[in-house]
Copies of this chain bind each other. A is one copy, B any other.
């Protein structure tokens, strides 16, 4: 059975030596000293290793079940959720006015990786609650906030997001769910929603559904969509729970993975709902927390790669099979461990260099969100908006691929459910799909974000890389191992962006046909940049005699691998992009 240990040391390195969190001029960051973040991360790691991770396989095997309209979670989930609540984890970065701890997003992003690595399906219950909390916090009336937020911050009540309907996923303008205004200012919600994660369960007293629906007579399509708060139990004026609302779980979906989470078909049959924000501005309300939510999904993808990698390393060191081609490494044993074989190392280095680079990328992006929110920093906001589809698309695609690599190291045992490696691939798979399928992320990146703000955000990004290279260019080892490859990759990214600008205006297909490759090209440049920054930090620590030489040397070695063996993907992506739209679009539909 797989195990999990939180990468606290690596997170501390990123927070304090790469991002230098406590030195940043961001409100709340001065609290983030080494000891404080270490305490939080270690505590999150402890409950994850001891409580959440052991329930991961149980959740996968048992799944959830719907009996007489009630959803039952797997054995142990309820008690674990109580521990999660009691530990105060739910409100870590929530508004203190409603009982949260008000800590920066960069820290909750780190704990989020830890919790998801231990048990992604479990962590989706509080995760969805947090999404609903954010929407109500941003758009709710004072009464709504007072009514719902304290209970959601504590996770006594959980939340959901209801967007998809059977005939509409990405294209929400096709929505059919209706919201009819009532005399008392409330609405009657009617319609069917599908793929509702954490839609119902037995771990909280109430479920607060956020539901997109159309008010009759409003504008056509996406412009006529409004957002509603629809509680499972009506909340009375005194805050106590009243009648059951007219909503029910129609079905639980049988999925490839995340079996421990209840993915529900939700039927609304004239349920009482309360308008959240303005009429017909539902999409705007929904998109408010999009950067955070998509970053969160990116971290989920990464998290599965992390736990899969940890277990692959253990197996590669334990399993004796074959002899090293350069001579026996374990001559007294019947065979050498798998890890002596070059191709096993190639796989492990792919995983390790991704996982650590992606972690830095995720935490850096979270720090930009903090800067955007806490400092009202428009530049940071522009940059993180640009990065969001990259974090989501690249980290989940690559994270999934890494779980497959990790599974492969187990050979036949990787395919047997008992060993637990299959679950990581199956759970990771959903991250490429939900919260906007990755093709939609690529479209968002190339079709919207690249041109946003007159292209200033990506210019700022390129400038940041350029000045970083200039600043550190005198270190020859850094230059050849990190800065030159980064410079080259960054040029390839600019070349691709230039191709889009020159050709995409006349024919948008010239840009969109290359959007997926562009998202991956962008991701590689970001991870290359992170590795260069980590290399600078590691070299500084070594020069300063910071101790733990092996840790910093390992950083440099792993980073060199990324630059030498992963960045060459950029050449492939730019070649695909600049081959243009014709190869992609030439075939008539009938001939597929």
Contacts and interface: CB of A to CB of B under 8 A. Distances in A.
A557 interface: yes
Given A171-B335, A589-B339, A412 B164 contact: yes
A156 to B, nearest CB: 29
Interface string A316-339: 110011100110000000110101
B583 A576 contact: no
A559 B555 CA distance: 43
A39 interface: no
B589 A317 contact: yes
Contacts of A572: 568-569, 571-572
Nearest to A170: B321
A171 B343 contact: no
A583 B561 contact: yes
A583 to B, nearest CB: 4
A371 interface: no
Interface stretch (A114-122, A251-259, A300-308): A251-259
Contacts of A584: 342, 345-346, 349, 561, 565
Number of this chain's copies in the assembly equals: 2
Nearest to A352: B592
A250 interface: no
A418 B587 CA distance: 31
Contacts of A346: 513, 516, 584
Contacts of A553: 591
Contact of A416 (B254, B325, B344): B254
B568 A576 contact: yes
A515 interface: yes
A550 interface: yes
A342 B571 contact: no
Contacts of A592: 313, 316-317, 339, 348, 352
A99 interface: no
A62 interface: no
A351 to B, nearest CB: 9
A515 B169 contact: no
Contacts of A516: 343, 346-347
Contacts of A443: 341, 343
Contacts of A404: 400, 429
A84 to B, nearest CB: 25
A568 B571 contact: yes
A437 interface: yes
A439 B325 contact: no
7 contacts: A253-B418, A342-B515, A343-B439, A343-B442, A345-B587, A347-B439, A558-B587
The 10 tightest CB contacts between A and B, nearest first, are A568-B575, A342-B512, A564-B579, A256-B422, A572-B572, A342-B513, A561-B583, A554-B591, A171-B321, A343-B439
Interface of A: 164, 167-171, 173-174, 194-195, 253-257, 313, 316-317, 320-322, 325-326, 334-335, 337, 339, 341-349, 352, 400, 404, 408, 411-412, 414-418, 422, 425-426, 429-430, 432-434, 437-439, 442-443, 447, 507-509, 512-513, 515-516, 550, 553-554, 557-558, 560-561, 564-565, 568-569, 571-572, 575-576, 579, 581, 583-592
Given A565-B576, A565-B579, 19 more contacts: A174-B321, A174-B334, A255-B417, A325-B509, A325-B512, A343-B515, A345-B587, A349-B587, A408-B439, A411-B437, A415-B429, A415-B433, A550-B591, A553-B591, A554-B591, A557-B587, A561-B583, A564-B576, A568-B571
